[in-house]
Structure 1
Amino acid sequence: MGDAINGLHHVGHIVRDMREAMELYRRLGFTVPAPAYPVLPRVAGGPAEPFGVANTHVHFPGGFVELVAVVDDTGRMPAGARPIPLRVPDDERPRLTAAIRATAANITSFLERFEGLHIMIADTPDIDGVAARLASAGVVHGGVHAVQRPVETGAGTRMEPARYLEISAPGLPAGRVPEGRIGFAENAPGEQPHIDHPNGATGLAGCVLCVADRDLPETEHRYGAYFGERLDRAKLTVVPASALAGLLPGERPAALPAFAGYAVSVRDIAATERLLRGNGVPATRTGRGEVLVPAAAALGTAITFRQDA
């Protein structure tokens, strides 16, 4: 085992303004749940205030798009946002506060590069096997961690366990590679959420990584070590900068290396295109007949809609 990959677990779209991002994604035809905002008293006995990093998940069967924003100094939350109380003993508050600040600083560093896609996590049913394979291949990672993540169901939001690991690159902070955050996640067995999206989206279909032409061989070698020489199993396309416009017409990389965009499968591509145009979203057709919303209209990431096979 250790080479079992079931495509994308999720991609992370880092945005400056959660309200703006939610409005955009709803115009794109996605169902967007209320975002979660951690709240914590800054001092013992003080009021709980939004703090750190907020997110929401656009769910598909087996995967999701995560919208991520740093909570600003005003602590404002969008209407309907879900405050998530962080309960911690007073003597542990400094440690937790420092960890949250470090996470927020990491997200801020992504935004300093560009607003857009910075996170790609592959799905695996055997994360312990993946961890062992990576270690044997000399790939540095931070070990397997357990978390709880919100999952939308017909009966509301429930917390489900998940396990993940992040890959690290030499000379960069833990959990970072040159293009952002890469890793693997394993969901607990159980029913996957099914969310109806007005645009007919059925799942995450792919992710595009753009690199400098001279760096293409090294990047393909590096990702071969990550994913066992089979990038297609992770639904990842690595493209040199000179070829990006051929794959995503009109697109130019905001930085190199960088994730240039992601793809979503839909039930009826013509109906999706009508919805986008009806909502005032600029969209063009690619040479392969897919519908492309350019990064300039989608907060820094190109979004491709393709017919579900």
Structure 2
Amino acid sequence: MGLHHVGHVVGDMEGAARLYRRLGFTVAPPAYPVLPGVEQPFGVANAHVYLADGFVELVAVLDGVPGEARPIPLRVPEDRLPGLVAAIRAASAAIAGFLERFQGLHIVIADTSDLDAVAARLTADGVGHSGVHAIQRPVETATGTAMEPARYLEISGPLPEGRIGFAENGPDSAALPVEHANGATGLLECVLCVADQEADQEGDREADQAASQGGDQGGEQRAGREVGAVRRRYDGWAGVRIVPASALPGLLPGERPPALPAFVAYAVSVRDLAATERFLSGNGVPIGKTGSGEIFVPAEAALGTAIIFRQES
């Protein structure tokens, strides 16, 4: 189980798209949902950075009619329209609250091939969730933008770190592969920073030891090494690395969490790390080195979230 996508909440969509293009990402045109019978656009606008595995979503709260953003009509049975309107308004209010907390990463959705089984496991573990919803998501195809079926659920909130959930794509996708100037190929993980007193240090040591011995167990153990409510939310998530605040400087030198808990970074794979570093340096992008020697763009230079670039295996 990896990441389906992460959401970077920003104050200025056009400025965020320019920054991501400077970082070497290909950014799809921004879009916003419209519903039948609702005259004014509402909710949020988003723009996607599609990767071979997962995607990054840029999200901005709408303020009136967006400039270059395109409308995406949502088709929904008439009897379900009021519920969808309420859900979008609630999501918009939540995202506005995230932005007030800080600009940065606030949405993390795990990928799964069996959403019903995930829902059943969460229920059995006493973790509240929204239930399974069927939606359509925009993808870029050979004939233009198409809407493809997807299913998702969200863990019940409000949660201080953001919107957390699981998604299941349809079995067949016509989405085209997207090339990125920085060589990015996939979404690997995100970093959740928590207060030291919430971290299970013994679990950290066991997970790091397992990781050093090879295999995939280390990531899964790291994802479940929190105690209490945070651990219950992320137990079994191989795409989330949980780091106590005191350990963050060792992972990302110079970085400080804007709040606790908070998602402070995400990582993407690249075809050639040296080429990516040359590209970023050539564009005047500040670069740091992680504790393990990877490169990252500091949060201060990337609208509140550090972006780690890792050589693909």
Question: Normalised by the shorter chain, which TM-score bucket?
Answer: 0.7 to 0.9
SS at match of 1:242: helix
Q: What is the CA–CA distance in structure 2 between the aligned matches of 1:89 and 1:236, rounded to whole Å?
A: 36
Residue 221 of structure 2 is matched in structure 1 by: none
**Equivalent residue number for residue 28 of structure 2:** 33
Matches within 5 A, 1:139-158: 139-158=127-146
* Matches for 1:211-222 after TM superposition, within 5 Å: 211-217=194-200, 220-221=226-227, 222=229
Distance 1:153 1:59 in 2: 12
Structure 2, unaligned runs of 5 or more:
201-223
User: Please, what TM-score do these two structures have when normalized by structure 1?
Assistant: 0.86
User: 1:37·1:77 contact (CA, 8 Å) conserved in 2?
Assistant: no
Partner of 2:98: 110
Q: Is the 8 A contact 1:146 1:161 kept in 2?
A: yes
Q: Percentage identity across aligned positions?
A: 66
Q: What is the rounded CA distance, in whole Å, between the counterparts of 1:71 and 1:136 in structure 2?
A: 37
Equivalent runs, 1:1-309 vs 2, <5 Å: 5=1, 7-39=2-34, 48-73=39-64, 75-78=65-68, 81-85=69-73, 97-168=85-156, 175-191=157-173, 193-217=176-200, 220-221=226-227, 222=229, 224-228=231-235, 230-231=236-237, 233=238, 235-309=239-313
Q: 1:294 to 1:125 in 2, by over 3 A?
A: same
Report if aligned partners of 1:39, 1:84 keep a CA contact under 8 Å in 2: yes
Q: CA offsets per residue over residues 168-198 of structure 1, 9 Å max, x none? A: 2xxxxxx432311111111111145421111
> In the aligned structure 2, how far is the partner of 1:41 from the partner of 1:188?
25
Give, in angstroms, the shift of residue 92 of structure 1: 8.4
Question: CA–CA distance in 1 between the matches of 2:9 and 2:75?
Answer: 26
Q: Please, what is the CA RMSD of the aligned residues?
A: 2.4
92 and 265 in structure 1: CA distance in 2 versus 1, 3 angstrom threshold:
closer
Task: Determine helix, strand or coil for the equivalent of 2:226.
Answer: helix
CA distance in structure 1 between the partners assigned to 2:133 and 2:263 by the alignment = 24
Aligned partners of 1:60 and 1:193 also within 8 Å? no
Residue 90 of structure 2: SS of its match in structure 1?
helix
TM-score normalized by the length of structure 2: 0.85
Superposition deviation, residue 50 in structure 1: 3.1
Partner Cα distance (2:54, 2:287) in 1: 24
Name structure 1 gaps, 5 residues minimum: 169-174
8 A Cα contact 1:40 1:87, kept in partner: yes
Please give the per-residue CA displacement for 1:42-85, whole angstroms capped at 9, x wherever unaligned.
Answer: 87xxxx54322111111112311111111114x2323xx22224
Q: What secondary structure is seen at the aligned counterpart in 2 of 1:178? A: coil
Tell me if structure 1 keeps the 8 A contact 2:252–2:289: no
| Structure 2 residue identity aligned to 1:125 | S
Q: CA deviation at 1:219?
A: 6.9
Q: Quickly say closer, same or farther: Cα 1:203–1:36, change in 2 above 3 A.
A: same
CA deviation after TM superposition for structure 1 residue 211, in Å = 0.5
Q: Which moved more, 1:123-132 or 1:216-225?
A: 216-225
Query: In structure 2, what is the equivalent of residue 171 of structure 1?
Result: none
CA distance in 1, matches of 2:137, 2:96: 22
Q: How big is the shift at 1:274?
A: 1.2
Matched letter for residue 115 of structure 1:
Q
C-alpha contact 2:234 2:240 (8 A) present in aligned 1? no
In structure 2, how many angstroms separate the alpha carbons of the residues matched to 1:273 and 1:153?
30
